[in-house]
Structure 1
Amino acid sequence: MPMIGQPAPQFSTQAVFDGGEIKNISLSDYKGKWTVLFFYPLDFTFVCPTELTQFREFLPDFAKANAVIVGASVDSVHSHKRWLRDDLGNLGYPLIADLTKRISKDFGVLLEDRGIATRGTFIIDPDQNIQYMGIHNTAVGRDAKEVLRVLQGLQSGELCGAGWKKGDQHVVTLK
Structure 2
Amino acid sequence: MYTLIQKPAPDFSAEAVMPNGEFSTIKLSDFQGEKYVALFFYPLDFTFVCPSEILAFSHRTKEFEERGVQVLGISVDSKFSHHAWRQTPVEKGGIGDIQFPLLADITKEISRDYGVLIDDSVALRGTFLIDKEGVVRHATLNDLPLGRNVDETLRMVDALQFTEKNGEVCPAGWKKGEVAMTPTQSGVSSYLQENASRL
The answer to whether residue 187 in structure 2 is matched with residue 168 in structure 1 is no
Q: Is the 8 A contact 2:76 2:104 kept in 1?
A: yes
Q: Is the 8 A contact 2:4 2:114 kept in 1?
A: no
Equivalences, count: 174
The answer to whether residue 158 in structure 2 is matched with residue 152 in structure 1 is yes
The TM-score with structure 1 as length reference comes to: 0.95
Q: 1:46 aligns with which of 22, 45, 48?
A: 48
Which stretches of structure 1, 4 residues or longer, exceed 3 Å deviation after superposition?
none
Alignment correspondent of 1:110: 117
The TM-score with structure 2 as length reference comes to: 0.84
RMSD of the TM alignment (CA)? 1.3
User: 2:122 and 2:69 mapped to 1: Cα distance?
Assistant: 26
User: 1:39 and 1:73 mapped to 2: Cα distance?
Assistant: 6
User: 1:173 and 1:98 mapped to 2: Cα distance?
Assistant: 45
User: 1:5 and 1:130 mapped to 2: Cα distance?
Assistant: 6
Q: 5+ residue gaps in structure 2? A: 89-93, 182-190
Larger helix fraction of residues: 2
User: 1:2 and 1:125 mapped to 2: Cα distance?
Assistant: 16
The answer to whether residue 94 in structure 2 is matched with residue 72 in structure 1 is no
Q: SS at the partner of 1:145?
A: helix
* Structure 1 residue identity aligned to 2:20: G
Alignment correspondent of 1:137: 143
User: 1:80 and 1:36 mapped to 2: Cα distance?
Assistant: 19
Alignment correspondent of 1:122: 128
User: 2:143 and 2:100 mapped to 1: Cα distance?
Assistant: 24
Q: Is the 8 A contact 1:20 1:81 kept in 2?
A: yes
Q: Is the 8 A contact 1:38 1:72 kept in 2?
A: yes
Higher relative contact order (CA 8 A, sep 6+): 1
- Identity, in percent, stands at 43
Kindly state the Cα deviation for residue 29 of structure 1 after the two structures are TM-superposed.
1.9
Structure 1 residues 100, 138: closer, same or farther in 2, change over 3 A?
A: same
Q: 5+ residue gaps in structure 1? A: none
Kindly state the Cα deviation for residue 2 of structure 1 after the two structures are TM-superposed.
4.8
